[in-house]
Amino acid sequence: MKRSIKAIALIMMLVAALSVLFVPSKVYAADSDAAVVAETNENDVTVAKAFAAAIVVAAVAAAGAIAMGLAICKAADGAARQPEIASKIQTLMMLGLVFVETAIIYALVVAIFIVFIL
């Protein structure tokens, strides 16, 4: 299980590193025609913001899915070992899942801020 989590984390880091290659180099370029450069830079910055937002949402959603899966797995394991407290375990599991889902929603809000406000 730990090996698969490490593999997923490595894949997420690789995707984040490779996404830097998609940010156009024209954002940093200087040209004599200022109007064309300004228009190009605005488009390129919008593309860079979209990639940043996608990376934020994808990374947090993947981490949240892993966390939820582990929580459900451990809760089922605990309920199987001690069936007499299964209802308490289920309540705690649901509370934990709500907190994880809240973190994912916060990441979505951050991605929306990146795209529309920054």
Q: Walk me through the domains of the chain, giving residue ranges and CATH numbers.
A: 2-20+50-116 (1.20.20.10)
Q: DSSP label at 118?
A: -
Q: Please state the pTM of the whole predicted model.
A: 0.64
Cα(36)–Cα(26) distance, integer angstroms: 11
The predicted-structure confidence for 91-112, as pLDDT tens digits, reads as follows 999 999 999 999 899 988 988 8
pLDDT of the residue at 91: 94
The predicted-structure confidence for 52-82, as pLDDT tens digits, reads as follows 888 888 888 888 998 899 999 999 999 999 9
Check whether 19 has a pLDDT greater than 70: no
